[in-house]
Copies of this chain bind each other. A is one copy, B any other.
Amino acid sequence: MVLTERQLLILQIIIDDFIRSAQPVGSRTLAKKSEITFSSATIRNEMADLEDLGYIEKTHSSSGRVPSEKGYRYYVDHLLAPSTQILTEVDILAMRSVFAERMYGLEKLVKRSAKILSELTNYTSIVLGPLVNETKLRSIQMLPLDDDTVLSLIVTDKGHVEKSVVKIPTPLDKTELERFVATLNARLIGVPLVELKTRMYEEVNDVIHSKIENYASILETIVSNMNKNEKSSLIVSGKTNMLSQPEFNDIDKVRAFMRAIDKEADFYNVLRKNQQGVHVTIGHENELHGIKDCSLITATYTNNGEPLGTIAILGPTRMEYSRVISMLNLLANEFSQWHEKQ
C-alpha cells in the first residue's frame, strides 16, 4: 500500500518537527502548523494508519508520535527536499575556508575538515584520508641513529611519511647501508604502497641474500609497521559533541557510544568499504553495535572518478539529514577538486 499525499505531508512534518525538538509530536501540535488544513482528529486517524504501516511509533500508549527507523529511511529516500539550498552562507564559507587557505599537506586538510564538520554540525565527524593503495613510493631514507639503530622513512608521493625505528642485530656499516638504500630506491620508487611489501622482497631479494642479516631485519620491521599504520589516516573529531544531544542523557547510552567510538579500527573497516556517493545508514542498519541509536552518513571523494577517501558524520538517528547530506556533498566536492589541482 502506497502512502497518500496527506500521509506523506504528515510524516514529513512529524519528522521535521521531531528532528528540531526531540519531543514526540502530537496531533494538536501538527494541526497548528500552517501547512495543515485539516483537523487534529483527521490527523489522529492518519497517524494511526502511519503507525500500522510502521513509519511512526508511540513512546507509550497515549504519547505523541516519533519517527521509526523505517520512517527515517522513507524520509531520507523520498521526502528529503531534493537539492534545496539548506546550507547557510556561514556553513558554506566555513567549509570553503578549509580549502581556501594556503594549506600544506593532505593530512592537515583532513584534520581541519573533520574539525570544521564536527563544529558546524555538533555531531561527531570521521574523515578517512586517501587509501594507501592510491599512493606511491616517493623515496626511502635510512638514517643511522646509533651503532645498532636505524631510522627508516618511507615517503609517499602525497607527502606522507611512515617512520620506523629499527634495532639491528649486528653493527652497521654506513657505506653499505647507503648502497642498500640506493638499491631500494632505484628499484622501488614509483611502486604503489599497497604492492610495496611484496615488491620489496621480490626486487631486492638477491641483494639481501648477498648481504648480512641486518637488511632482512630492517625490511621485516618496515613491512610490519606499514600494516599497522595503514589505519592512521582516520581522524575522528567532536567525540564529545554527542554528549549535548538530548538522546544521550542516559548514562548507559553515553557509555556504549564512547566505547564504540574509541574503537577506531571498527570505523576504519566500515568506512573503507564504502561505495562512491553519499550513503545514509540509520540506527540498526549499522553493523557496529555501539551505534545502533545513531545514523551514519558517509560521502566519498574522488580523483578523476577514482574513490580516494571518505568523509562521514555520526549523529543520533534524529539527525539533520538534509543539512548534513548537503554539507558532505559540498565538502566531498571540494576535496575532489583539491585533489585534481594537486
- The chain A residues found within 8 Å of chain B, CB to CB, are 102, 104-106, 108, 138-139, 141, 143, 145-146, 149, 151, 153, 155, 157-159, 161, 163-167, 221, 239-240, 243-244, 248-251, 254-255, 258-259, 262, 342
Contacts and interface: CB of A to CB of B under 8 A. Distances in A.
Contact of A258 (B102, B146, B155, B240): B240
- Grouping DSSP codes into helix (H, G, I), strand (E, B) and loop, the A interface class, with mixed when no group exceeds half, is mixed
Contacts of A146: 342
Contacts of A159: 145, 149, 151, 163, 165
A162 to B, nearest CB: 10
A203 B159 CA distance: 27
A155 B151 contact: yes
A174 to B, nearest CB: 13
Q: Which 7 A-B pairs have the closest CB atoms?
A: A105-B165, A104-B165, A159-B165, A240-B258, A161-B163, A243-B255, A151-B159
Contact of A102 (B106, B141, B167): B167
A271 to B, nearest CB: 21
A143 B141 CA distance: 11
Contact of A221 (B104, B155, B221): B104
A342 B259 CA distance: 37
Contacts of A163: 105, 159, 161
Contacts of A155: 143, 151, 153
A254 B243 contact: yes
Contacts of A139: 143
Contacts of A262: 239-240
A14 to B, nearest CB: 28
Contacts of A254: 243, 251, 254
Given A104-B221, A143-B155, A159-B165, 10 more contacts: A105-B163, A138-B143, A138-B151, A145-B159, A149-B159, A151-B161, A153-B161, A240-B255, A243-B258, A248-B251
Nearest to A253: B251
25 contacts: A104-B164, A104-B166, A104-B221, A105-B163, A105-B164, A105-B165, A138-B151, A139-B143, A141-B141, A145-B157, A145-B158, A145-B159, A151-B155, A151-B159, A151-B161, A153-B161, A161-B163, A239-B258, A239-B262, A240-B262, A243-B254, A248-B251, A250-B251, A251-B254, A258-B258
